Structure 1
Amino acid sequence: MDKLRNMEVFMAVVEDGSFAAAARRLGISAVMVGKHVQQLETQLGARLVQRSTRRHSLTEVGRTFYEDSRQVFEQLRWAESAVERSRSAPQGLLRISAPITLGNHVIAPLVADYQLANPLVRVDLQLSDGLVDLVGENMDAAVRIGQIGAEGLVARPLQPYRMVIAAAPAYLRQHGRPRSVAELARHQCLSHAVWQRRSEWVLRDGQRTAFWPEDARLQCNHGDGLRHAALRGLGLIMQPEVLLADDIAAGRLVPVLEDSVPLPRPVHLVYLPDRRQLPKLARFVEHMLEALGQR
């Protein structure tokens, strides 16, 4: 087996936490993952992964070899990108990460438009609400909601992420339109399951702050599930504007408490400084800023 391929599989095992997870990422069987790691250990003459019936853990040699391998692959990617930078037409594989809701409703359509204009580029769009490590997961760019930490990334601001409180016309006819956050206590409210554990979205009620009611009629761990319930008149919903925009425009949902919604959160397109010269990435950044850049 090729040593670089063995190293790539070993790195996937470390980053994904198990042979099975690495197999899913690489599109091979867990048995084949084990063979690659075993072959690498034979080539090196050292044990990298300590195996047991229940778990796997890195040996001290394995931890050192993993860090060195990351540097080797980063240098390899840079060497490959040097060839790509010499080409005028964007081409190759572009790997992008984006949050699920924003990715589904905004980023995915823009990616499709980008590919129509750049047919030589293949795109791997990964939608996840987790914080993606661009280097560790070999991503070219990511769209992130919230403040950007000191990670040495280029961060280009996009249009902010806004929330909307809305309900179906039938619900408002039956229960009335809330005029203040305090009135939410007598309304049927639909809640995202994550908010029960982590109150991210703070409502504004005059000079005070408040939170979305926890005593919800329906709790769901996905915004689209709450949206369907709101469309059927089950209650009030607070969700991202990008998720509800089409329903509001069509009159299927009506915004309420517009002055009480949480403050918008910043959104950035981030990428590594050493990749900005890649034609495929440079063109994608231009495309995103033209569509979503702050004006």
Structure 2
Amino acid sequence: MDRLQSMAVFVKAADLGSFAAAGAALDMSAQMVGKHVNDIEKRLGTRLLNRTTRRQSLTELGRQYYERCKSVLAEVEAADAIAHTQHSAPRGRLRINAPVTFGTYCLMPVIADYLNAYPEVQIDLTLSDRVVDLIDEGYEAVIRIGELADSSLLSRRLKPYRLIACAAPQYLQRRGTPTTPTELADHDCLGFTYAARPPAREWPFMAGDILHLAQVRNRFQVNDSRAQLAAAREGIGIIMGAEMMLTEDIQSGRLIRLLPDFDAPALPVHLLIPGDRRVLPKLRSFVDQVVEQLGGE
């Protein structure tokens, strides 16, 4: 069997969770899917999928092989696309990664405009607050918030990721409105946490050149910004969140901005792409679209 085809079939079977679903997606029988997977396992001398009558799951080695297969298949797609000239219409599939909040509230409108403009491009967007490896995990572009480490990746600076503090009117009626960062210590603040970082115990604010570190306590913490926003709307506590996420609620009156005389952090944002590959039309046009709509100040 063709090795690349077998790899593609294996990836599809792992993604969809069954040979039958993979066969339907690839227009082949479940038995043929099984033959491709069995051929790989026989060649490697190990099992990649644990299979029962009700479900299947990747083995530990199968997970590693799956990730490498995705990367190889992405490289093959890029190699095939080189046949198109620099000025050919963007086409093909783009794999993009972005942080959850940024991707939901800021990047999605850009992607919608891009897909309308380039009907022959498909986008696979993964939202995760984990720092992914662009090369090893087969992404063609990633969004990073925060300072960049030295790398061989090419970067384009986007608008800063601004944070602001807000609370619902019912919370402020019950607990009062803080007028300085120091007063936040007497309030309930909503913590944001994920695997790589516990919730912050200090919120930094600037007044001119003076840094104020507000001590905060979290009666409620969550690993999803949408749930954190919902908690703020319900009056559970004060949220420090992305300005782009909170603007609509502030304009509608559901939330009230706090401490307007103090600036919260503005974190750098970059769009990263591989530095050692030819930039194909689909990626070039995507980068241009993102920079046009979210470009740096």
C-alpha distance in 1, partners of 2:136/2:264? 33
**Which residue identity does 1:209 align to in structure 2?**
L
Identity of aligned residues (%): 38
After superposition, what is the alpha-carbon deviation per residue over 1:80-135, rounded to whole angstroms, capped at 9, x for unaligned?
Answer: 12123455211222221111111111111110101111122222222222222323
- 1:292 equivalenced with 2:285 (yes/no): no
Taking the aligned partners of 1:289 and 1:67, their CA distance within structure 2 comes to 29
Q: Secondary structure at the match of 1:28?
A: helix
- The answer as to 2:25 corresponding to 1:28 is no
- Looking at structure 1, the residues matched to 158 and 201 of structure 2 have their Cα atoms a distance apart, in angstroms, of 20
What is the CA distance between 1:244 and its match in structure 2? 0.6
Give the letter aligned to residue 241 of structure 2: Q
TM-score, structure 2 normalization? 0.77
Gaps of 5+ in 2: 24-29, 52-56
CA distance in 2, matches of 1:69, 1:196: 27
Q: TM-score scaled to structure 1, two decimals?
A: 0.77
Q: Which amino acid letter does the alignment assign opposite residue 269 of structure 2?
A: V
| C-alpha distance in structure 2 between counterparts of 1:265 and 1:183, whole Å | 24
2:275 is the counterpart of 1:273? yes
Q: Secondary structure at the match of 1:108?
A: helix
1:115 aligns with 2:115: yes
Per the alignment, residue 16 of structure 1 pairs with none
The 2-side partners of 1:72 and 1:264 are apart by 37
Q: Is the 8 A contact 1:99 1:128 kept in 2?
A: yes
**Alignment length, in residue pairs?**
281
SS of the equivalent of 1:4 reads helix
Q: Where is the helix percentage greater, Structure 1 or Structure 2?
A: 1
SS for the counterpart of 2:217 is coil
Show structure 1 runs of 5+ residues with no match.
14-18
Q: How large is the Cα RMSD of the aligned pairs?
A: 3.8
Q: Which amino acid aligns with 1:284?
A: F
In 2: Cα distance, 1:261 partner to 1:202 partner: 14
For 1:226 and 1:91, locate their aligned partners in 2 and report how far apart those are by CA, in whole Å.
37
Q: What CA deviation, in whole Å up to 9, does each residue of 1:221-276 have, x standing for no partner?
A: 32222222322333211111121111112232111124555422111111113455
Query: Structure 1 stretch 205-214 or stretch 149-158: which is displaced more?
Result: 205-214
Specify the code of the residue in structure 1 equivalent to 2:117.
Answer: A
Q: Deviations over 1:120-176 (max 9, x none)?
A: 222222222222232333222111112222331111111111111101233323422
The 3-state SS of whatever aligns with 2:296 is coil
